[in-house]
């Protein structure tokens, strides 16, 4: 997906140059070129813009004040002939600052920063969207929706598993422990025995190689799982 760009500069030659640089860069898309900040506002009101190349010295409303006026602003790369604006530019979270006359290598270097940031944001968004908050299991001819955060621990019994919830309800379903283990977020749940998976957020007391829930439920930590579980403890130990 290309980064949608807006070029803003009151100098026609500079504006054309930025526009041509955008068009020759494979991961950028030029949405519009504007000769002043007011036209840019109109474009922003009706288009999705990811990145703006903004000249600072413009009549009536300069580029710096224009960017400061925006409530929801795209990423910004300032373009100007005056280096003294650099510090102020970074104070408004500008991605970069390019001095005129602008060469394509300097333009591309700044554009690549926008590309890296865009890819990082997308990966983060994709990761968040892939996190499940619930699962469905079949129990007694019904499909039951279980919120993952409500699971305290899971116990295997032959071909069945019992899902023990925070409210002390137990749901039994015909499924192997390994299968449900693969459906749970690894940062929250850990298999600590061949017959048990626990919600790590609910581990409060550990005694003599066992996790104790509600003062009456003792879950053993199997030998082959001790090292991994100990690593979890060590990372949280004060």
Can you give the CATH number for the domain in which 59 is found? 3.40.50.2300
**14/118 same-domain check:** yes
**Interval 93-102 mean pLDDT:** 88
Chosen domain end from 129, 157, 176: 129
Arithmetic mean of pLDDT over the chain: 88
The domain of 77 spans 3-129
pTM to 2 decimals? 0.54
- Separation of alpha carbons 197 and 211, rounded Å: 11
145 and 85, same domain (yes or no) = no
pLDDT tens-digit series, residues 1-47: 899 999 999 999 999 999 999 999 999 999 999 999 999 999 999 99
Q: Are strands 170-174 and 189-193 parallel, antiparallel or unpaired?
A: unpaired
Residues in the chain, how many? 238
147 vs 156: CA distance, rounded Å: 19
pLDDT at 158: 79
Tell me the pLDDT tens digit for each residue of 42-63.
999 999 999 999 999 898 999 9
Structural domain count, the chain: 2
Q: Which residues contact 75 (CB under 8 A, 6 or more apart)?
A: 50, 51, 52, 95, 114, 117
State whether 155 and 227 are in the same domain: yes
**Residues 166, 114 within the same domain:** no
Model confidence pLDDT, tens digit, residues 103-151: 999 999 999 999 998 887 766 555 554 557 888 898 888 889 999 999 9
Pick the last residue of a domain from 129, 154, 189.
Answer: 129
Do 124 and 139 have their domain in common?
no
Do 176 and 204 lie in a common domain?
A: yes
> What is the reported pLDDT for 93?
77
Structural contact between residues 190 and 200, judged by C-beta atoms closer than 8 angstroms: yes
Which of 55, 28, 50 lies closest to 39, judged by CA?
55
Structure tokens at 237: 């130990």
Kindly report the number of other CB atoms within 10 A of residue 132's CB atom: 10
Reported as a single tens digit per residue, the pLDDT across 170-206 is 999 998 898 899 889 888 999 999 999 999 999 999 9
12-24 and 104-129 are packed helices; what angle lies between their axes, rounded to 10 degrees? 50
Domain limit, last residue, from 105, 129, 153: 129
CATH number of the domain that residue 149 is part of: 2.40.50.1020
Residues 29 and 121 occupy one common structural domain: yes
């Amino acid at each position: 997906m290309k980064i949608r760009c807006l070029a803003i500069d009151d100098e026609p030659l500079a504006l054309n140059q930025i526009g041509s640089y955008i068009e020759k860069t494979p991961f950028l898309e030029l949405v519009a070129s504007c000769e002043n900040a007011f036209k840019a506002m109109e474009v922003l009101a009706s288009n999705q813009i990811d990145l703006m190349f903004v000249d600072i010295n413009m009549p009536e409303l300069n580029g710096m004040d224009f960017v400061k006026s925006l409530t929801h602003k795209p990423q910004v790369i300032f373009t100007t002939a005056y280096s003294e604006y650099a510090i102020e530019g970074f104070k408004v979270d500008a991605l970069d600052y390019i001095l005129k006359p602008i060469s394509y290598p300097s333009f591309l270097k700044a554009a690549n920063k926008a590309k890296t940031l865009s890819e990082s944001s997308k990966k983060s968004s994709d990761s968040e969207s892939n996190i499940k908050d619930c699962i469905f299991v079949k129990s007694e001819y019904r499909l039951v929706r279980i919120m993952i955060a409500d699971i305290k621990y899971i116990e295997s019994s032959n071909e069945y598993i019992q899902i023990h919830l925070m409210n002390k309800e137990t749901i039994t379903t015909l499924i192997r422990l390994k299968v449900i283990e693969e459906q749970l977020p690894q940062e929250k749940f850990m298999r600590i025995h061949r017959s048990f998976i626990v919600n790590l957020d609910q581990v409060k007391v550990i005694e003599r190689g066992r996790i104790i829930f509600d003062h009456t439920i003792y879950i053993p930590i199997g030998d082959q799982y001790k090292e991994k579980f100990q690593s979890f403890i060590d990372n949280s130990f004060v």
